[in-house]
Structure formats: structure tokens, C-alpha cells
Amino acid sequence: MSDGRDQWKSKIGFILAAAGSAIGLGAVWKLPYVAGTSGGGAFFLIFLVFTLVLGTSLLLAEFVVGRKTQKPPIQAYKELAPGSVWHWLGVLGIISSCLILSFYSVVGGWIITYFVRSLTGSLTNPATGDYGSLFDSVISNHWEVGIAHLIFIIITILIVQGGIQKGIERASSIMMPALFIIFIVLVIRSLTLDGAMEGVTFFLQPDLSNVDGETILFALGQAFFSLSLGVSIMVTYSSYLGKQENLIRSASSIVSLSILIALLSGLAIFPGVFAFGLEPNDGPSLIFTVLPAVFSEMAFGSIFLSLFLLLLLFATLTSAFSLLEIVVSSTAKNNPKRRRIAAWIGGLSIFIIGIPSNLSYGLLSEWHLFGDIFFNQIDFLVSNILLPVGAFFISVFVPMKISRQDLKEELLRGSKLGTGFFETWLVVIRYITPLAILAAFLNVLGVW
């Protein structure tokens, strides 16, 4: 490109990286525990509907903004709505990304800790016995989890400071397919455990009598979280995308991949939960107690567990790259030296913000903020408030500030889909998305 900005080497590079941002702890760690605490099958069904309808439309909307302007979010919103306050939407995205990464990196650190411990085979050793308290014993080792947290952030910084292509693209194209394969092995093992079907029923059979306002808001937050929406990350990634690429095809690949991983992860976790008599409403520690139990029932279980954790670590890192990338690309533009400085200052500050989240499961477990531990409150604030708020304003911005003609041209370029698809998308983004988000908020506030 004439201004020397990096571009994706190939379309598949972009899809893999955007899918790499989407697929991570959201589907593998967060979805099972939120589903476990919010009604199982009913939650999953509502999550699916939100993902397919609102998620896909918003993903396309963020793509349109990024590809049209070829700029990172703040500059992109400025260009489309000069002299207005809309660029604050980009600032909101950066703040939300920092907060997400602050607890995301804590869980990334737990995965590193589990990976290192799995290498000795001790996690899957039947002598470990009580898998339920395994997590507590690992997590109470403050130095170990603290250092792992720091290592996770440093890896993220090192990759992001290297620039968009070399780092992110290369890493995602090998790790994602590998993760997928080992997930299938895991699901097969889970589904053949004694008592597995109870878990499948819990996860897939919707019992709508369990649904309340919170279930709906949580499902909405989960849908945005697991597609990396509402924080303008997809604006950032698509700003590196060539003009000729087909946005609709890219969006559908990303949404389908992300739903597939969410499904696989539910089918891997819940049969295990019920087969081992664990509790589905265990919260953020859920996968850390269930996975070792399931792998311990497998031939070469400890090797498979290590491999799984390693690949999950890569999936987590590709999401973390995107969270730091939005901070770096917004502050450093394309100057390599400034990129390096921004990556280090941003990354280390986010690490510091994450320390109370990390200690929430140990030293600070008694410290409650508005009735819950710090970790859960930050997660709640970001996933169920900031992401839906960001998504709301993006869905208002796009049809208001980009002309119908431009939207149509940008969205349909390279695609065989016609006006019918465009009109439907426009209705969803202009009316259905903002109204659904508003309704979900008002519902939780008990307005009706």
C-alpha cells in the first residue's frame, strides 16, 4: 500500500488471525462456566441465536468501518464522523480491551501453570484424587501463578511489538487446526464416559423455565465476548485488509468456527462434570477441575493434557495479541520504535491492573467489591456492560454515519449476495441490534 501500512499476506492470514482473536478462552473457559451457572441448555440456545443474528451483523459492521477507512478505530471514527464525539467509541474499545486483557492474562497464566505442572504427569495422577480441590491447591501458590501471569503478558508483548504480519499470522495458521483436532479427541473421550449423557442433556436441552433477565444479558455478553465484538478489534484487524476481499465470506467462516469450538467445548466439559460428580456451577475454575479428570481417564492422558493445554495457550495468546494490538496500533501508528515502546508500556500496565484479579483466588479472596471478588466484578463489568454498550454504539454509528450507498458497496464487494442480503443486514444492524441490547439492559434493571 502507498502509505506503507502492513497488509495481510493473504486472505487466509486475515481469517486465521481474526478467528484467532475470536477463538480463545471465551469459548473454551468462559462459555462452560457461564452456561454452568446460568441455566445450561437454555443459555446455550440464547447464546447461539445472539451469535448468529446480532454477532454476525456486528462483525460485518466492524469490518466495514475498518476496511473502508483502513485506519485504527479512533482515527477511523474520526474520519467517518469528523468533528464529533464518536471517536470516543474507539477510546471505549481501548479501555475495554485493557480491562479484558487484565483478567484474560491471569487465566492465561493459570494455563501456563497447569501446562508446566502437567509435564510431570502429576495433574492426571489418580492419587491426586479430589479433582475439585486441585485448582485451589494450584492457585494458592501466589508466586507461581504470579510469575506465570507475567510470562503470559511478556510473550504477548514480544509478539505484538514485532508487527502485525510476522507475529500473528504465522502463529495462528499452525495452532488453530491442531487445537481443533485435539478437541475432537477430547470430546470423544468425554462422551464415552459413564454418565456422559446427563452432561449432554444439561448443555443442549433448553429448559426455558430457567431463563431470567440475567441469563439473557449474560448470553448477550458471551456472544460479543466470544466474537471479540464491541471493542473495535475487528475494526483494527480489517483495517489491514485489502479492498478486494469478500467480507461476508470471512465473517461467516469466523462465526461458524467460533460456534463449532463453543459446541466442542461444552461437549468436552459437561459430560465430564456429571460423570465425575462435579458441580456445573463451579465458576471460573470449572475447566481447570474438569479437564484433568477427563484426561486422567484416557490412555496417555497426561501427554494429551499437556498438548491440549499448550494449544489452548496458543489460542489464548492469539486473542491476547488482538487485545494488545488495538492499544498499540492506536497509540503508535506505524512507527516501529513507538510500537515497541507502546507494547511494553501498555502490556506492563495491563499486568499491574490484573494483579488484584490474580490475587482474587488467593490472598484477596475475602476482599469483596459490591458483593463479589474483584476478578468476577471486572469480568462482569467488561463482558456484560462495556461490550454490549460498545456494540450498541457501533450499531448506531454505522448506519448513521456511513451512507447507504457506501455501506452497500463495501459490504457486497466481491460477494455474490445481492440487495436482499444487504437490506436484511441493514435492518438487523439499525433496529434489531440496538433494541435487543437496550431491552436486555432494561430487563435486568427490572423495568418490565
Task: Report the interface residues with ligand PHE, using CB under 6 A.
Answer: 21-22, 24-27, 100, 225-226, 228, 231, 233, 319, 322-323
Q: All 3 cell numbers of residue 308?
A: 491440549
Q: All 3 cell numbers of residue 355?
A: 494483579
Residue of closest CB approach to ligand PHE: 26
> Closer CB to ligand PHE, residue 231 or residue 426?
231
**Contact (CB, 8 A) for 278 and 131:** yes
Rounded to 10 deg, the angle between the 196-204 and 41-50 helix axes is 40
User: What's the CA gap between 295 and 114, in Å, rounded?
Assistant: 13
Q: All 3 cell numbers of residue 126?
A: 489418580
> Closer CB to ligand PHE, residue 25 or residue 286?
25
User: What's the CA gap between 48 and 51, in Å, rounded?
Assistant: 5
Q: Shortest Cβ distance from residue 317 to ligand PHE (Å)?
A: 10
Q: Shortest Cβ distance from residue 322 to ligand PHE (Å)?
A: 5
Q: Shortest Cβ distance from residue 71 to ligand PHE (Å)?
A: 19
Q: Shortest Cβ distance from residue 223 to ligand PHE (Å)?
A: 10
**Contact (CB, 8 A) for 219 and 388:** no
Q: Shortest Cβ distance from residue 124 to ligand PHE (Å)?
A: 25
Q: Shortest Cβ distance from residue 22 to ligand PHE (Å)?
A: 5
> Closer CB to ligand PHE, residue 196 or residue 326?
326
> Closer CB to ligand PHE, residue 323 or residue 332?
323
> Closer CB to ligand PHE, residue 57 or residue 296?
57
3-state helix, strand, coil split of the chain in percent (to 5) is 80, 0, 20
> Closer CB to ligand PHE, residue 76 or residue 412?
76
Q: Shortest Cβ distance from residue 111 to ligand PHE (Å)?
A: 12
Q: Shortest Cβ distance from residue 84 to ligand PHE (Å)?
A: 25
> Closer CB to ligand PHE, residue 259 or residue 373?
259
Q: 163-198 burial string, b = 16+ CB within 10 Å, else e?
A: bbeebbbbbbbebbeebbebbeebbebbbebeebee
> Closer CB to ligand PHE, residue 36 or residue 301?
36
Q: Shortest Cβ distance from residue 27 to ligand PHE (Å)?
A: 6
Rounded to 10 deg, the angle between the 419-427 and 404-412 helix axes is 120
CA–CA distance from 227 to each of 18, 231, 236, 290, 358 (Å)? 9, 10, 14, 24, 24
> Closer CB to ligand PHE, residue 93 or residue 434?
93
**Contact (CB, 8 A) for 287 and 269:** yes
Q: All 3 cell numbers of residue 304?
A: 494429551
Q: All 3 cell numbers of residue 279?
A: 458441580
User: What's the CA gap between 231 and 225, in Å, rounded?
Assistant: 9
